[in-house]
Amino acid sequence: MIFTQVDQRTRHFIAGLPKAELHVHIEGTLTPTRRWEIAARNGIRLPYADITALTASMDFEAPDAPTYLQKFLAAYYEGIEVLRTPEDFRDLTVDYLANCRDERVLYAELSFDPQAHTSRGVALAAVMEGLAEGRRIGRQELGVETNLILCINRDRPVDTAVSALTEARKFRDQIMGIGLDSDELYNPPAKFRAVYDLARSEGYRLTAHCDVDQPATRENIRQCLDILKVERIDHGINAIEDPALVDEARARGITFTTCPTWRQIDTAPRRVDRIRKMYDQGLKVTLNTDDPGLFASGTMGKMLPAVMVAGGFTFAEMAQLMINAFEGAWIDDGLRHALLGRTREYMLDWGNDK
Ligand code: HPA
Ligand code: ZN
């Protein structure tokens, strides 16, 4: 339905545009088909007759925003229970990165949730081994560069977050940054001050979720800036409701990883007007898929043409949104320079092609 509104030229432009995404949960890339297959090989009987019934079960719509996040998270955590072995994490990662190659996503920062695995008896070493092998295949065979973000589950006790960071020391060289995800209600950023102080002292880059339209969302964004001292905010769209937050985020060059994702019941990308406003106010906005295995919006190549049309973004503005991602990425200057060069070349060719 959405795609009939997107003309051929727009689709062609997006297909070739060099892309990055900074906000994608690798566990949230698990598709119903892959989930079904991994369950079968691990001897897990899912309580659904077939893949169609399984897909239908991922119905996390709710009329009001706060319970929407909780319903979504219930579907997300149910889904990842099938992930048990290094091979599961490898296959998950390779599926996602093969699609990145096909859609010209040249760089991706993959969030992962160690506590959601260790708490069900899956060793961190198994998770890390699978992710490392998937990323190696991504780099060597698919030409996609990645980094990892260890996300703290904010709805779990703080001491388990500290344990997760302590255990992650063995894999320090594989992990670029720390994030904060899961249920935001009653779990404000300030709860994790000590965890972020520890992470900062260990040299991690720092981001945190401030999910859209959550209660206390502006206060949470303020805490991320003042207490956690993050350099990026995942989502953070409600910042535009507070001019002081906008000024400060702009002055500090905070990158916002927004997600105009949509669900089966939606007929168009969500949040686009507000993302457009952030962009027009000079905030460093990026576009991301968050959980492409669960959302109808899917992967970057599918999502972006509809977002471009819905938001009235020009070709140059779409390129700038990708430049924002390359600039906000946690990569060295050599890779950044190369990626920005690819965008420049693409836009020159596109301009010459008219
Ligand atoms: N928000 C919070 N936690 C999450 C999300 C999200 O969008 N996806 C996976 N964990
Ligand atoms: Zn997220």
Instruction: Decide whether any atom of ligand 1 lies within 6 Å of the 88 Cβ.
Output: no
Q: Give CA–CA dist 195/130, Å, rounded.
A: 26
Partners of 284 in the β-ladder: 255
Continuous H helices in 143-192: 158-168
Nearest to 297 by CA among 336, 261, 343: 261
CATH number, position 300: 3.20.20.140
> What is the 9 CA–ligand 2 centroid distance (Å)?
30
Strand, helix or coil at 102? Answer: helix
Which pLDDT does position 324 carry in this prediction? 98
> What is the 137 CA–ligand 2 centroid distance (Å)?
24
Which residues, in sequence order, are CB contacts of 67 under 8 Å at separation 6+? Answer: none
> What is the 46 CA–ligand 2 centroid distance (Å)?
25
Which pLDDT does position 302 carry in this prediction? 97
Partners of 148 in the β-ladder: 110
Q: Is residue 318 within 8 Å of 13, Cβ to Cβ? A: yes
Q: Give CA–CA dist 208/107, Å, rounded.
A: 20
Instruction: Decide whether any atom of ligand 1 lies within 6 Å of the 288 Cβ.
Output: no
CA angle, 200 then 203 then 205, to 5° = 75
Task: Please state the domain count of the chain.
Answer: 1
Which residues, in sequence order, are CB contacts of 345 under 8 Å at separation 6+? Answer: none
Instruction: Decide whether any atom of ligand 1 lies within 6 Å of the 154 Cβ.
Output: no
Which pLDDT does position 62 carry in this prediction? 61
Please tell me the residue having the least CA distance from ligand 1 atom 10.
Answer: 182
Q: Give CA–CA dist 90/127, Å, rounded.
A: 9
Instruction: Decide whether any atom of ligand 1 lies within 6 Å of the 182 Cβ.
Output: yes
Q: Give CA–CA dist 163/108, Å, rounded.
A: 26
Q: Is residue 230 within 8 Å of 326, Cβ to Cβ? A: no
Nearest to 273 by CA among 237, 242, 320: 237
Q: Is the pLDDT of residue 230 over 60?
A: yes
Q: Is residue 255 within 8 Å of 231, Cβ to Cβ? A: yes
Which pLDDT does position 1 carry in this prediction? 47
Nearest ligand to the C-alpha atom of residue 109 = 2
Q: Is residue 159 within 8 Å of 165, Cβ to Cβ? A: no
Nearest ligand to the C-alpha atom of residue 26 = 1
Instruction: Decide whether any atom of ligand 1 lies within 6 Å of the 183 Cβ.
Output: no
Which pLDDT does position 66 carry in this prediction? 63
Nearest to 45 by CA among 92, 73, 81: 81
Ligand 1 pocket test, candidate residues 182, 220, 257, 262, most atoms within 8 A of CB: 182
pLDDT band at 7 (very low <50, low <70, confident <90, very high): very high
Q: Is the pLDDT of residue 268 over 70?
A: yes
Which pLDDT does position 203 carry in this prediction? 98
pLDDT tens digits for range 147-189: 999 999 999 999 999 999 999 999 999 999 999 999 999 999 9
Task: Name the residue range of residue 231's domain.
Answer: 2-351
Which pLDDT does position 58 carry in this prediction? 77
Partners of 256 in the β-ladder: 233, 285
pLDDT tens digits for range 24-83: 999 999 999 999 999 999 999 999 999 999 988 877 766 566 678 888 999 999 999 999
Instruction: Decide whether any atom of ligand 1 lies within 6 Å of the 291 Cβ.
Output: yes
Tokens at residue 56, please? 């239908």
Which of ligand 1's atoms lies nearest the C-alpha of 235? 7
Which residue reads 């689709």 in tokens? 11
Please tell me the residue having the least CA distance from ligand 1 atom 3.
Answer: 182
